[in-house]
Structure 1
Amino acid sequence: MKNFPRLLGFKRGPLHICSVLFMILNFLLQGESSNFSENFGILWGKDQFKLSNDGQTAHLTLDRASGSGFSSRNEYLFGSFNMRIKLIAGNSAGIVTAYYLSSATSAHDEIDFEFLGNLPRKGYHLQTNVFATGVGNREQRIRLWFDPSADFHNYSIVWNQNQIVFSVDSVPIRVFKNNEGVGVPYLKNQPMKIISTLWNGEDWATDGGRVKVDWSKAPFVASYQAFEVDGCVASASSESCTGHWWDQSLFSGLSRDQLKKLRWVKRKYMFYDYCKDKSGRFSTPPPECAINP
Structure 2
Amino acid sequence: MASEGPNHNEFDFEFLGNTTGEPYLVQTNVYVNGVGNREQRLNLWFDPTKDFHSYSLLWNQRQVVFLVDETPVRVHSNLEHKGIAFPKDQAMGVYSSIWNADDWATQGGRVKTDWSHAPFTASYTGFEIDGCECPDTVAAADNLKRCSSGAEKRYWWDEPTVSELNLHQSHQLIWVRANHMVYDYCSDTARFPSVPIECQHHRH
Per the normalisation by structure 2, the TM-score is 0.90
Give the Cα–Cα distance (whole angstroms) in 1 for the partners of residues 148 and 9 of structure 2.
19
Letter matched to residue 139 of structure 1: E
Q: Determine whether 1:226 maps to 2:137.
A: no
The equivalent of 1:39 in structure 2 is: none
Task: Give 1:283 deviation, angstroms.
Answer: 2.5
Taking the TM superposition and a 5 Å limit, the aligned residue runs for 1:37-76 are none
The equivalent of 2:148 in structure 1 is: 242
| Aligned pair partner of 1:153 in 34, 48, 53 | 53
Task: Give 1:264 deviation, angstroms.
Answer: 0.4
Q: Any idea what the Cα deviations from partners look like across 1:247-272, whole Å, max 9, x if unmatched?
A: 11111100000000000000000010
The equivalent of 1:208 in structure 2 is: 108
Taking the TM superposition and a 5 Å limit, the aligned residue runs for 1:254-293 are 254-279=165-190, 281-292=191-202, 293=204
8 Å Cα contact 1:126/1:141 also seen in 2: yes
Give the Cα–Cα distance (whole angstroms) in 2 for the partners of residues 253 and 260 of structure 1.
13
Give the Cα–Cα distance (whole angstroms) in 1 for the partners of residues 42 and 81 of structure 2.
29
Q: Any idea what the Cα deviations from partners look like across 1:7-51, whole Å, max 9, x if unmatched?
A: xxxxxxxxxxxxxxxxxxxxxxxxxxxxxxxxxxxxxxxxxxxxx
Give the Cα–Cα distance (whole angstroms) in 2 for the partners of residues 180 and 262 of structure 1.
23
The count of aligned residue pairs is: 192
Q: Any idea what the Cα deviations from partners look like across 1:110-129, whole Å, max 9, x if unmatched?
A: 00001111111111110000
Give the Cα–Cα distance (whole angstroms) in 2 for the partners of residues 274 and 250 of structure 1.
29
Gaps of 5+ in 1: 1-100
Identity of aligned residues (%): 51
8 Å Cα contact 1:276/1:285 also seen in 2: yes
The equivalent of 1:108 in structure 2 is: 8
Three-state SS of the structure 2 residue aligned to 1:181 is helix
8 Å Cα contact 2:189/2:195 also seen in 1: no
Q: Determine whether 1:162 maps to 2:68.
A: no
Q: Any idea what the Cα deviations from partners look like across 1:136-181, whole Å, max 9, x if unmatched?
A: 1100000011010000000000000000000000000000000112
Give the Cα–Cα distance (whole angstroms) in 2 for the partners of residues 124 and 291 of structure 1.
30
Gaps of 5+ in 2: 150-154
Structure number with the higher strand fraction is 1
Three-state SS of the structure 2 residue aligned to 1:175 is strand
Where does structure 1 differ by over 4 angstroms across 4 or more consecutive aligned residues?
236-239
Letter matched to residue 147 of structure 2: C
Which has the greater radius of gyration? 1
Three-state SS of the structure 2 residue aligned to 1:233 is coil
Three-state SS of the structure 1 residue aligned to 2:21 is coil
Task: Give 1:291 deviation, angstroms.
Answer: 2.3
Give the Cα–Cα distance (whole angstroms) in 1 for the partners of residues 11 and 120 of structure 2.
25
8 Å Cα contact 1:109/1:130 also seen in 2: yes
Give the Cα–Cα distance (whole angstroms) in 2 for the partners of residues 276 and 283 of structure 1.
10
CA RMSD of aligned residues (A): 1.4
Q: Does 146-155 or 283-292 show the bigger shift?
A: 283-292
